[in-house]
Amino acid sequence: MAEMSISVENLHVRLGNNDVLKGVDLEIKDGERVAIVGPNGCGKSTLLRAISGILKPTSGNISLNGESISRIHRRERAKILGLLNQSDSIPMMTTVYDNVAIGRHPYRSFLRDRSTADHIAVADAITKCELEDLHDRRVEALSGGERQRVRLATLLAQSPQMLLLDEPLTGLDIEHQLALLHLLKDLNLDENRTIVVVLHDLATAIRFFDRILVMHEGRVVADGPSGSILNTEVLKSVFGIDASIAYEQESGHPVLVSTRP
């Protein structure tokens, strides 16, 4: 894969009468693993949608390797940027396999049958999301967690270089949450995929992501290494909690610890 970077400059997004993003500046470099955290309504999901190109900014610029994403054809953009949106729906009356195959749309010409590469990509995505036993099952017969894994597999079949995931752990039990987090880490380390994820769980963000962006009221208020960025001041000013991050002695995993007496 060619190297890729995303640059966001003075990004403003207004939805109705609400200024959701208020001058966001950031750069995401090739191969990074980034978690975006912040209170509800701070603009996290809007930022992902703007970066993906499906939401037009009010002002500002988003560029991919120096070229405005608005000038990149949607089909070509989909080969580079893939978004797992909270509001995405899964078509009913389709099998898991056929639904995951929808992710190959950017690579297929009109009325062309699926190629060998398409079948390989779909099978690989199904395997990575542990859906092999469900590949011929109708989507409407699946549980909510299984449908979430189908949505992720569809995104992986798209083979984007940068994955943008909005609350991907929603609906998953703890086993599949951990499986997904380890999968994202493997995609980053083994395939050099850039991963950008919106999360609510701060301890999970620190454990599985190298860089954390903290958003508050439409702005990025903190940005840095996951081991140091969520200090007591940020936790208090952004999240309104008296807490600190500690690490379990045996596992070394981060935990959120209240500092209130």
* Sites in the chain below the pLDDT cut of 70: 1-2, 109-112, 261
Question: CA-CA-CA-CA torsion for 76, 28, 207, 47, nearest 10 degrees?
Answer: -70
Tell me the whole-structure pTM to 2 decimals. Answer: 0.93
User: How far is Cα 49 from Cα 11, in angstroms, rounded to an integer?
Assistant: 12
Collapse the DSSP code of 35 into the 3-class scheme (helix H, G, I; strand E, B; otherwise coil) and give the result: strand
pLDDT score at 163: 96
Helix (H), strand (E) at residue 246: strand 243-247
pLDDT score at 63: 95
138's tokens: 């109708």
pLDDT score at 229: 92
pLDDT score at 261: 62
Give the residue carrying structure tokens 């988003």.
62
Sequence-distant (≥ 6) Cβ neighbours of residue 188 within 8 angstroms? 31, 33, 194, 195
Write out pLDDT tens, residues 12-55. Answer: 999 999 999 999 999 999 999 999 999 999 999 999 999 999 99
Residue 221 near residue 215 (C-beta atoms within 8 A): yes
61's tokens: 């610029």
pLDDT score at 115: 85
User: How far is Cα 130 from Cα 170, in angstroms, rounded to an integer?
Assistant: 17
2's tokens: 């060619």
Give the residue carrying structure tokens 């980034």.
34
pLDDT score at 4: 83
Cα Rg of the chain, angstroms: 19
127's tokens: 């395997």
22 forms beta bridges with: 12
Collapse the DSSP code of 261 into the 3-class scheme (helix H, G, I; strand E, B; otherwise coil) and give the result: coil
Phi, psi dihedrals of residue 95, rounded to the nearest 5° = -80, 165
User: How far is Cα 7 from Cα 29, in angstroms, rounded to an integer?
Assistant: 9
Residue 254 near residue 203 (C-beta atoms within 8 A): yes
